[in-house]
Amino acid sequence: MALQKTLAWLLLLTLLSLELVQPSYGQPHMYQRFLRQHVDPIKTVNSNSYCNVMMQRRRMTANHCKHFNTFVHENIWNIRSICSAPTVRCKNGQMNCHEGLVSVTDCKETGSSMFPNCRYQPMASTRIIAIACNGNPPVPVHFDR
């Protein structure tokens, strides 16, 4: 219990520090949304309920059950460094995506899940992701794949 409280405080401090260093260029709203929906550097919950807790905590089950989401378990500086990788084509055809190898947890809604009782199955892995980046310097604004 004490470890969970410590980790929760550490997450809160991390998110607050990210607020302080957010870029004032590019698309700050989209950057903040990316952080909220996809970044969990210390994987604050280590159990089968990880996705259920995180999807609710990050407000992705407020109006409906989001079908799929990926949480990246890297610090924001490692994630931002992906924006320096060569560009690749995004799913929408734009050329502002970049790829990098990271630790992730994919959260997939279970077939029996119904709003407001959204339920998710976690799948942890290390894989290559693609993120869209905008701004100068570029910051992540969209999780592409």
Please pick, among 29, 38, 64, 98, the residue that the annotation labels catalytic: 38
User: Six-digit token pair at 70?
Assistant: 């990926």
Whether 64 is catalytic: no
User: Six-digit token pair at 97?
Assistant: 């995506």
Whether 73 is catalytic: no
Torsion of CA 127, 131, 135, 137, to 10 degrees: 10
User: Six-digit token pair at 33?
Assistant: 């949304």
Question: Distance between CA 62 and CA 2 in Å, rounded?
Answer: 28
Please pick, among 29, 67, 98, 142, the residue that the annotation labels catalytic: 142
Burial class (CB in 10 A: 0-12, 13-18, 19+), 117: exposed
Give catalytic residues, as residue numbers: 38, 142
